[in-house]
Amino acid sequence: MVLLSAQNLTVSVESETPNAPGSIPLLQNVTIDIRKNKVTCIIGESGSGKTIFSKTIAALLPENVFIEQGDILYQGQSIDYSMLKKSRGRRIFYTPQNAAASLNPALKINRQVNESSKLDQAQLLDLLSDLDFRDPERILNSYPFQLSGGENQRCLLAMAVALQPELLILDEPTSALDHHLQEGFIELIKKIQQRFGLTILLITHNLSLVRNAADYIYIILNGEILEEGTPRDLLTCPRHAYTREIADITR
């Protein structure tokens, strides 16, 4: 079942050049299906359009960026940008790249998680244990500045999962992590997704990193979808030169 579908979506930015009014497309005729209870990945380099897509469906576009054409369907029903905005934080939860900037440094983790949590304390402690925290109570009673970057990233993931959104968007969740921590964090995402039956849109630039976590992948470049398929398809038989370049296949 498809939870959210973007069909022939074009997102543009207003031109800032006085003698050349109009708009510049950032996404062009993008069609993406996000299936319920699955991990869907969008993979591409910086500036490829993957974050613009995620911010479009999270209704977080800058004022000068707008949907020029196309449709967004939520559970089969057409939904406009204002309706997406009303869904943000309740049905759709977006987590940005920088976990530290998303957490309030003046509040302990326990208070920040409980502000939106649909889990009781016992369930929350179990969730933190699932996220490989050896001492969940200490984590809950800590301020963000007392934790490492990896711990803050996992706390942000815990906050998102505790909200129990219908769609969880993770935008480059490993970008601030050391290389040796990245693969472990992706494994945690898949573990939590399976336990809670979450629908996840995962944004990243690393195809090899998500090969064991993604159920379906879209490759994007210059605002266009180049290729799509399962991780196995894209890692073993990539059709596009760009996909072969980012696959980093080890045979």
Instruction: Kindly report, residue by residue over 4-49, the tens digit of the pLDDT.
Output: 999 999 999 997 766 656 789 999 999 999 999 999 999 999 899 9
Output the pTM of the full model: 0.91
Go through the domains of the chain in sequence order and give each one's CATH number: 1-15+24-91+165-251 (3.40.50.300), 101-163 (no CATH)
Q: φ, ψ for residue 25 (rounded to 5)? A: -70, 135
Taking residues 101-128, report their average pLDDT: 86
pLDDT digits (tens, 9 = 90+) for 54-104: 999 999 999 999 999 999 999 999 999 999 999 988 799 998 877 667 888
**Is residue 96 left, alpha or beta, with left meaning phi > 0 and alpha meaning psi from -120 to 50?**
beta
The 10s digit of each residue's pLDDT in 175-211 is: 877 777 888 888 889 999 998 899 999 999 888 788 8
